[in-house]
Every structure is written in C-alpha cells, then in structure tokens.
Structure 1
Amino acid sequence: MHVTHLSLADFRSYARVEVPLDPGVTAFVGPNGQGKTNLVEAVGYLATLGSHRVSSDAPLVRVGAERAIIRATVRQGERQQLVELELNPGRANRARINKSSQVRPRDVVGIVRTVLFAPEDLALVKGDPGERRRFLDELITARSPRMAGVRSDYDRVLKQRNTLLKSAALARRHGGRSLDLSTLDVWDQHLARVGAELLAQRLDLIAALQPLTDKAYEQLAPGGGPVALEYKPSAPGDAHSREGLHDQLLAALTEVRKQEIERGVTLAGPHRDDLLLKLGQLPAKGYASHGECWSYALALRLASYDLLRAEGNEPVLVLDDVFAELDARRRERLAELVAPGEQVLVTAAVDDDVPGILAGTRFTVSDGGVERV
C-alpha cells in the first residue's frame, strides 16, 4: 500500500499544496519551521484520525481559515481509492471516500496505514501511561479498523459514567440530597462489555509484539536485551477471554465504587492501565540510559511495522526528523532496516541527516512551497 498523491487545503501552514508521491523512499528536506512535518502529519492523520504532535484539531487548521482538508489517493495492488477528511474544530469532522456521499470519519480508518517514527517516540518509554495506551490502541485499530468504533464506544460510556459519578460526588460534598445511582449498574455493564473487548485486543497485540520487539531491539542494540512487554491492568486478575475480562472488570468496578463516588471519577478500566516496558529485569523507565530508551522506542515501532506487514497490508513508514536525534550507529542501522519498505517518507533539516541508503525522491520544503528536486 502506498500514497500516490497528497493534497492539502488550509492545513497547518499550507493554504494549498499538491504533492505527487512515489513508492520507495521520499525525503522532504528543508530548514525547521518550513512545513516538512506538516506533510507527513497529514498522512498520519488519515491513518489514525489524530496528530502525533497535538491532541486537538484546532492547531491543524491554518490561521484565519475555518476548516482544513486532507485528501489522498491511495493504491493497494490494482485498487485505487480517494480518501478525504474535512477538519472542523468545534464541530463534527466530515469524510468522503471516492467522492461518494459523506461517511463517518472512522470509516476511512484502514485505507491508509502508517507506522510513525518521531522524536516524540521517546515518550513511549519515558512518558506517562497515556502515551503507551495510545500506542497500543492506534496499533490495534491499524490491525482491525472496526476497533475505531469500539474505542469510540468506550470513550462515550466512560464519559457518561464519569458525569454521573461527578454529580454524585458534588452532591455529597455540598451536603445535598444523594443522587439516585441505580443507573450506575447499567453503566458498569456497558463499561465492562466494551472494556473487555478493548482489553482482549490489547493482550492479543502484546503477545504478538513481544517476540518482534525483542528481535528489533537486538538488531538495533546487539547484546543489549532482552526486552519484555508486561501489561499492568487496573482491574487485577489473569483472565484473557472476553467473558473472563468482562467479569474481572465488573468485579473491579464493584470493589472501587465507594472511592469512585467520593472522587467522582472511574477508577478501573482500560483507560487507567499501563504497559510496563522491561529491559533485562528492570523497568526501562527510570533505569535505561537515553540511548537504550531510544533503541526501545525504535524497536516498538519496527515491531509494529513487522506485525502489520506480516498480516498482509504493508504500512507507509514515516520517519519525522528522527535521524537527527540518533547517534551514527543507530542512524545507519535504522536506515538499513526501513529502506526496503514499500513507501518510506522521511523529513530532515539538511541532506546530511538522511542516510545514503535512503536515497530516493527528494523534495525541498521552504517558504510554504514543496518542490521536487
């Protein structure tokens, strides 16, 4: 699978830009702040419905514009599709596939698949649990696009349940009449049902990623492992089936209900879980060196790429200004590992940051323009 054309309107710094893309390696080179990352960010947004740089859509719309358009032509084998997203901060986003009538934005998930390497990846190892949950859930959705709906359902149920708990907590603190919490049992059932589906997918993903991550780490840092991925649930137990996970989560919600009513927030569920990354016998976070953390983050991305490729849909590899962050050895090793990809998009501030093995199509990016060399 590869993107053959990218079109942006009022996205980030671009009023309008058209970029034809080839299979193989394409490098966007230019000084910082000229819009290189904006191009690959747009490709990533089509894959995940989110940005790797910001948590909301508002910064993605060019200053002074009301909306932004991302449009891409995608080829997989002999099949070609046109996918379009319209970003409307403060209102619902809109989507189209092959110029058809509107579809839900989540319906475009799976048409473009990406694996992104970026300086922000260091947060996978050093950052808070939310970074690792996002990594898992985006990869789950890339493997199975229907999970976009499950994630959306979980977020909706969690929001409703938290609203009820917050109202109960406020009433209690201000000495008002206790609220009727009979509906909380209903929301518990909803949360356990959807949460169990999400948990089952995460556990399956981690089992598939474990050997691939260990292999990738050995390729990047020979003799530096082994690495281990360990899921840390907020609902204790060792269930793996959806039924068992449902019962486990429901029991945990019952156990913490008193504290939830006091604090006004849901205290158990996939939204509070973590992925423990171990290097040898110790957690990487807090114990691994800076270089080891980089190798671990890169290994997770390489494992993601290998997993998606093995499952039959090779993703676009995006390397956003990542080589400038690496020492010479890791830079060359990473380049060797990603060079065979069907489509590799690289951004760099200067030509020297792009390893020679990644020679291919070059664009210069400056003064709001994108020009093929």
Structure 2
Amino acid sequence: MHLTRVGLTDVRSYDRAEVRLEPGVTLFLGANAQGKTNLVEAVLRAAIGSSHRVSGDQALVRRDHDLGVIRLEARTDNGRRRTLDVEIGSGRRTRTRVDGNDVTRAADAAGVVKVVMFAPEDVAVIRGDPGERRRFLDDLLGQRRPAYVSTRSDYDRVLRQRNQLLKQARGLSGSSAEAAVATLESWTRQLVHHGATLMAARLAAVHALSGIVRDTYHDVADRPEPVTMAYESSTGRTVQADPGAGVPDPAPLAEELRAALAEVADEERRRGITLVGPHRDDLVLAIDDLPARTHASQGEAWSLALALRVATHDVLAEVGDRPLVILDDVFAELDLTRRRRLADRCDHWDQVLVTAAVESDVPLRAAHVVEVTMRDRVSSLSPRGEVAEESA
C-alpha cells in the first residue's frame, strides 16, 4: 500500500495544503518548527484514530478554528483506490468517511490505511509506564484485526460502568448493597468475556513480534545480548513470548481472569475500582535478562524501540496490504551505524515518509524531497523544484 495524496484543512499549522506522493522514499525537509511533524501526525491520526503526541483532537485543529479536516488517498497492493476523510474538532463527534461513505464505528476505518510510525516519542514505549506498551499493542492489533477495535471499545465501556458501580456501592448497605452486588456480577461477566478476547489477541501479537524484535535489535544495535518479551497479566501470571506459538484459546484466559477478580472482590469494593483486567497488564521487554525500562542505555532503548516498529511492519504485512512507514525526526537521533542500518531497512519497504531538518542526516537514495516552510504561522509544502503557493 502507498499513499497517493494527503490533504489538510485547518490542521495544526496548515490552513490548506496538499501533497501528492509516490512509492519509495519521500523526504519532508525543513528547519525545526516548520510543520513537518504536524503533517505526518495528521496521517497517523487519520489512519489509526489517535496522535502519537496528544491524547485528544483539539490540539490538532488550527489555532482559532473549530474544525480540521484530514484527507488521505491510497492505492492498495492490488491497485484499488481507497480514500479516508476525517473531520476533527472540539465539542463535536468525529466524522469519518471511508471511500466516500460515512462510518459510525472506529472499526470501520481501522486498517483502511496501514501506517507504522517511528518517532522520538517511541522511547516512551521502552521507558514509560505500562500504558505506553498497552497502547503499542492495541494500535498494532487495531490495524491488523479491525474487529479488535470494537472489542476494545466494548471492554472500555464495560470497565467504565463497572468502576462507576463499584464507587456507588461503597456507600450502600442492606438490600441496596445486595442489589449492587447482583448488578456488578453482570458487568463482571461482560468484563471477563471481552477481557479474555483482548488478552488472547495481545498474547498472539507478543508471540508474533518476539522473533522479529530479537533479530532486528541484533542487526540495528550490532550487539549480541539476548532480547526477550513477555506478557505480564494482572491476574498474576507472566507468559514468555514464543515465536512458534499461535493464538491462545480465550476460554482458559476467561477462567483465569474470573478467578483473579474473585480473589480481589473485597478489595475492589473497598477501593471502588477494577483491579484486574487487560487495562492493567504490561508488556515486559528485557535486554540480557534485565528490564529495558530501567536498565537500557539511551542507545539500547532507541534500538529496541526501532526493532518494535520494524516488527510491527512485518506483522501487519502478513495480513492484507503492506503498511507505509513514517520516520519522524529519527535519523538525527541515531549514530552513524544505526543510521546506515535503518537506511538498509528502508530499501525493503514500499513507501517511507521521512522528516528531517538536515538533508545530510538522512542516508537514503532516490528520495523525493518536499520542502516545508512556515510564514505567518502557516506551513506550506513545496516539492523540490516547485515554488510554494501563497497561503490563502
């Protein structure tokens, strides 16, 4: 798959901008704070439903405006034309159109345009809290299996309802407390059902990623230390990644989750919050048997983060279209060896969008170059050899 066109209206620093793209490498070149990352962030937001920089959409809308529009056109591996239009703003429901048709479920837009982004923020997947690693797995699975998006949405809805009931039940007694417990059981059954499905999918993803992550880390970092991955469940069990394992049966996971919830039932009612479930699980990454979160050097963390993204590309490519790759301000952060190793990887990807402030930092061949400049707080795009038009 490759993007053929990106159009932005009132998104971040862009009023109206359009760029047409070809397969291969495209370099978005410009000084810092000109709008390079704003462009690729918009592509990511439309493709996977979230930004890698902020949690909400309001920051993506241009200053003093209420609505921003992101338009993507792509060509699939078999030549089919796809379009994805997303309208974002504050205080309004996001409007999404796929191939010109309105869709109401996030799952209907998942995977239409497959994207893998590697950015400086990815180091948080290695060093950050468990939520960063859960998000990494969920973003991957949402593009690989759009049904996962619906399951995750169902789980989040049930979790909110269950937590609300647990908080309310803390002040109840007698028959009111008994009624609350009965209602809680209904929400618990739903939590177990959706939670076990999420856990099975995440475990399958960890197994599929592990071998690629190990091999890529050794190649990029040029170091021999073993890299391992494991899924640490809030039920108390840790599952070591096995590249040869398939998708686990959700039924035993449901029993495991149900038993763990029963053990903490009294504590949950006392604290008013759900203490067990995939919303509290973690992906454990280790280098030479030491937790990468606390022991990895800066270079090791960067190499491991890059290995995770390379593995994401390969796992996504196993099902449907091969994803495009975005490298946002990455080469400047790497030493010469890692730059060369990453450049070698780019030769094997169908389409790569790269942002950089200094062209000599990017050791890539045959790149299409688009210069990004800003004037009067508005960014503009100009393919090398063309003159950027005045902003409207």
Letter in structure 2 aligned against 1:327: D
Q: Is contact 1:10–1:67 with CA below 8 Å preserved after alignment?
A: yes
Structure 1: distance between partners of 2:135 and 2:347 = 26
The residue number in structure 2 matching 1:163 is: 164
The residue number in structure 2 matching 1:204 is: 204
Q: Is contact 2:106–2:149 with CA below 8 Å preserved after alignment?
A: no
Q: Relative to 1, partners in 2 of residues 1:28 and 1:187: Cα closer, same or farther, differing over 3 Å?
A: same
Which of these residues, 335, 349, 365, is aligned with residue 341 of structure 1?
Answer: 349
Q: Is contact 2:5–2:74 with CA below 8 Å preserved after alignment?
A: yes
- 1:352-371 superposed matches below 5 A: 352-355=360-363, 357-367=364-374, 368-371=379-382
Deviation at 1:104, TM superposition (A): 3.1
Q: Relative to 1, partners in 2 of residues 1:328 and 1:271: Cα closer, same or farther, differing over 3 Å?
A: same
- 1:108-147 superposed matches below 5 A: 108-147=109-148
Letter in structure 1 aligned against 2:368: T
Structure 2: distance between partners of 1:45 and 1:238 = 32
Deviation at 1:312, TM superposition (A): 4.0
Which of these residues, 315, 327, 333, is aligned with residue 323 of structure 2?
Answer: 315
Q: Is contact 1:234–1:273 with CA below 8 Å preserved after alignment?
A: yes
Letter in structure 2 aligned against 1:323: F
Deviation at 1:34, TM superposition (A): 1.1
Q: Relative to 1, partners in 2 of residues 1:102 and 1:127: Cα closer, same or farther, differing over 3 Å?
A: closer
The residue number in structure 1 matching 2:155 is: 154
State which drifts further: 194-203 or 8-17. Answer: 8-17
Deviation at 1:96, TM superposition (A): 1.0
1:222 maps onto 2:230 in alignment: no
Q: Provide the secondary structure at the position in 2 that maps to 1:181.
A: helix
Structure 2: distance between partners of 1:338 and 1:307 = 16
Structure 1: distance between partners of 2:155 and 2:103 = 24
Letter in structure 2 aligned against 1:107: D
* Deviation by residue 1:107-162 (Cα, 9 ceiling, x = unmatched): 11111111110001111111110000000111111111111111111111111111
Deviation at 1:318, TM superposition (A): 0.3
Q: Is contact 1:74–1:80 with CA below 8 Å preserved after alignment?
A: yes
Letter in structure 1 aligned against 2:333: E
Q: Is contact 2:231–2:238 with CA below 8 Å preserved after alignment?
A: no
Structure 2: distance between partners of 1:44 and 1:216 = 23
Deviation at 1:106, TM superposition (A): 3.2
Structure 2: distance between partners of 1:324 and 1:138 = 26
Structure 1: distance between partners of 2:16 and 2:123 = 32
1:241 maps onto 2:249 in alignment: yes
The residue number in structure 1 matching 2:63 is: 63
Letter in structure 2 aligned against 1:291: G
State which drifts further: 84-93 or 272-281. Answer: 84-93
Q: Is contact 1:72–1:84 with CA below 8 Å preserved after alignment?
A: yes
The residue number in structure 2 matching 1:263 is: 271
Structure 1: distance between partners of 2:92 and 2:123 = 32
The residue number in structure 1 matching 2:390 is: none
Structure 2: distance between partners of 1:366 and 1:29 = 9
Letter in structure 2 aligned against 1:372: P
Deviation at 1:99, TM superposition (A): 1.9
Q: Percent identity?
A: 47
State which drifts further: 314-323 or 178-187. Answer: 178-187
Q: Is contact 1:94–1:104 with CA below 8 Å preserved after alignment?
A: no
Letter in structure 1 aligned against 2:357: A
* Deviation by residue 1:164-203 (Cα, 9 ceiling, x = unmatched): 112223x26x9xx747221100010000000010000001
Any stretches of 5+ residues in structure 1 without a counterpart?
A: none
The residue number in structure 1 matching 2:337 is: 329
1:305 maps onto 2:313 in alignment: yes
Q: Relative to 1, partners in 2 of residues 1:238 and 1:276: Cα closer, same or farther, differing over 3 Å?
A: closer
- RMSD (Å) for aligned C-alpha atoms: 1.8
- 1:279-294 superposed matches below 5 A: 279-294=287-302
Q: Is contact 1:97–1:103 with CA below 8 Å preserved after alignment?
A: no
